[in-house]
Structure 1
């Protein structure tokens, strides 16, 4: 639903940026091309700069135009938030919440959480965006997300953490892998086997390189990917092992498809997971309730994975 609070000029700029030309924006929005063109030129005249670079192949945003698109998206987000707040004042538990999170959680925490939301708040819409931790924080800062569930979040201005937990480093293997019987393991022993590692786009890889660079300089890892889903499939098949956390592999651990072995040794530090929001914008009541639900569900799945019974099930398969 739209309250039509966003100025026309911002709407037109965003439409042209999205569709690549005034004519395409006109067809998509049903607004006359002349009206869109007139509004954009009026803004450019007042600003004394171009909002778009006009080429034969279409229109692309100038640096100033990019600033206006960011403004348009923030305005639209605020419009949706106002609509949600008004409905909540009327006693209606509905809203539109934008969550940005990690690839590794799409077959563990996220399905459980989304099912829970559907049961408790069936009128709430959840948009889930998969991103790297750096991209997730940028989305929060730009007003493009309401909350982010991210790994290895560094303290920074404008970001408020509402829940967090430590994630000790683990080596994950298939139950029939030669390492599966170990109760703990060193990085040196891990490096003797085919390993699938995260790409430098992910913070865990940067953390490992900073503290244990020899793992990557002495021999190149057989597989490097920014997809934790791909890494988990390789590990489940038995062909590779991986260094990650219990939360990354929670569902596979609970199902008995993987085993997590604590990594020990000098300079081994835990990762962390955090549920964060922007400290610059207050969340609507329903979004706060949904955030609390996500924190509780994430904490619960961690407790299940770490329960003595879960460990017994893992080693029963080895």
Structure 2
């Protein structure tokens, strides 16, 4: 659905060469040169620096490239939805989430929704909050569910609840009887944390950087919250997490959640997000209240 000029332009951006772009598109280099010149005439700006080693975007070219990529992604989304409607009378709702929310919260909401909309398909992508925000802006996903510490440009918050970070441990851990603890109390105890990019890791690293005393024993680190949970349930370490994604284990007594006294760990929220300039399908809009109701139910139980 992109114009020929925009398609040719993007291929030159990808390859950095008119000749290489022509080979990939199976057209003459002169045809690509004409389309680039046409875009430059229309925009009134030079889009590339012609260098001996290839084509390098100018600042106006970078702006047009970003815009054209978004157009391309949106075109792909529309075509997928049209194809789904033609093939199955269905559409796809694309969601971005962290692993714990995707594992513990989303399945119930999705299944409840599909009880009434059986033709709707779901695609769930697991990612960090910053990646979710970018994928929303790029129209790669429709809805984001993310823990956040601050607002993101170009993102609308459709639902938000406090989700403070707590110390999570097995009930037989030496600290499990505490009613409240400072993060410094965890020094001397093995800790298991998710990798960089998560809100928990950002808070922990920030707190540790400001601390002049001895370091923590971060004995386990992984991009899998499932692995971290297994280690903690076995009593080998303490982790930091929100209670909302662990309330099944907390209710069963296999884990204990203890509030952290340090104020920074109470600032985190759980958000349902959409892109500010996005137009959700009617089916995606109808899914939002089902999702929010499930989050409210889980929050009440946490």
Fold match (TM-score > 0.5)? yes
1:297-316 to structure 2, matched below 5 A, reads 297-304=294-301, 306=302
Pick aligned residue for 1:243 from 224, 240, 243: 240
Contact 2:208 2:215 in 1 (8 A): no
CA distance in 2, matches of 1:215, 1:24: 53
Secondary structure of residue in 2 paired with 1:128: strand
Secondary structure of residue in 2 paired with 1:238: coil
- CA 1:81–1:186 in structure 2 vs 1: closer, same or farther (change >3 Å)? same
1:101-120 to structure 2, matched below 5 A, reads 101-120=97-116
List runs of 5+ in structure 2 lacking aligned partners. none
How many residues are treated as equivalent by the alignment? Answer: 297
Structure 1 length-normalised TM: 0.70
Match of 2:285 in 1: 288
Secondary structure of residue in 1 paired with 2:96: strand
1:33-182 to structure 2, matched below 5 A, reads 39-40=35-36, 42-43=38-39, 49-51=46-48, 65-79=61-75, 94-155=90-151, 158-182=154-178
Contact 1:173 1:238 in 2 (8 A): yes
Once the 2 structures are TM-superposed, how far is the Cα of residue 203 of structure 1 from its aligned partner?
A: 2.6
Match of 1:227 in 2: 223
Once the 2 structures are TM-superposed, how far is the Cα of residue 126 of structure 1 from its aligned partner?
A: 3.3
- CA 1:154–1:265 in structure 2 vs 1: closer, same or farther (change >3 Å)? closer
CA distance in 1, matches of 2:19, 2:121: 32
- The 4+ residue runs of structure 1 with deviation greater than 6 A are 19-28, 52-56, 58-62, 80-87
Contact 1:98 1:128 in 2 (8 A): yes
CA distance in 2, matches of 1:208, 1:176: 24
- CA 1:242–1:85 in structure 2 vs 1: closer, same or farther (change >3 Å)? closer
Contact 2:48 2:55 in 1 (8 A): no
